Amino acid sequence: MKSSIIKSVLVFLLAPAVLLAFKSKADKANFSGDWKLNESKSDLGRMANFATRSIKAEQKDDNIMIARTAPSFNGDNFTSTETLTFDGKEAESKLFGNSTRKSIAKWSDDAQTLTIAYTLLLDLNGNSTEIKGTETWALSDGGKTLTVQNNSTSSFGDLATKSVFEKQ
């Protein structure tokens, strides 16, 4: 009798552990698509003139390619492209002239937000400036809206912007 009670208790305690071991992880948010900035929903602060106007993202299981288009200093549009892996490795991309961006992408525990830690090394006519920051990407409205919260620090001071993009 005592043995059967112990077995029953063990089954009762172990069954949930076994079932949870086979539970699949939540799907990662998928940021793929063509995204256009909605300025009226965004808070771009003093960087409004140079804010990214559109994003094209192609997400795969192990990486994401991001192409950002924004106005350049001379008024033309400028597109920068980077491919970030999800394994924690740093990626370096060329911006303009000798300016570069080093980035690392990391998923949140629930895989619904992607945080990109970056260091921009801007070279403007021989004057170098380092900007360190993070971008946090999140989807809402059934995947139709992408919000990118950007927080950065540089010799220019701290800057926080929120860019709201709509899927095209």
**In this predicted structure, what is the pLDDT of residue 17?**
46
pLDDT above 60: residue 4? no
Note the pLDDT tens digit of each residue in 41-50: 999 998 889 8
Q: Where are the domains of the chain?
A: 29-167
> pLDDT averaged over the chain?
87
The angle subtended at Cα 146 by Cα 144 and Cα 148, nearest 5°, is: 175
pLDDT above 60: residue 24? no
pLDDT above 80: residue 16? no
Tokens of 96: 């303009």
Round to whole Å and give the CA distance between 23 and 61.
19
Round to whole Å and give the CA distance between 82 and 65.
6
What band does 150 get if pLDDT is binned at 50, 70 and 90? very high
What band does 11 get if pLDDT is binned at 50, 70 and 90? very low
Note the pLDDT tens digit of each residue in 49-61: 989 999 999 999 9
Per CATH, the homologous superfamily of domain 29-167 is: Calycin beta-barrel core domain (2.40.128.20)
- The burial of 23, by beta-carbon neighbours within 10 Å (0-12 exposed, 13-18 middle, 19 or more buried), is given as exposed
Q: What percent of the chain has pLDDT over 90?
A: 70
Tell me the average pLDDT across 113-142. Answer: 95
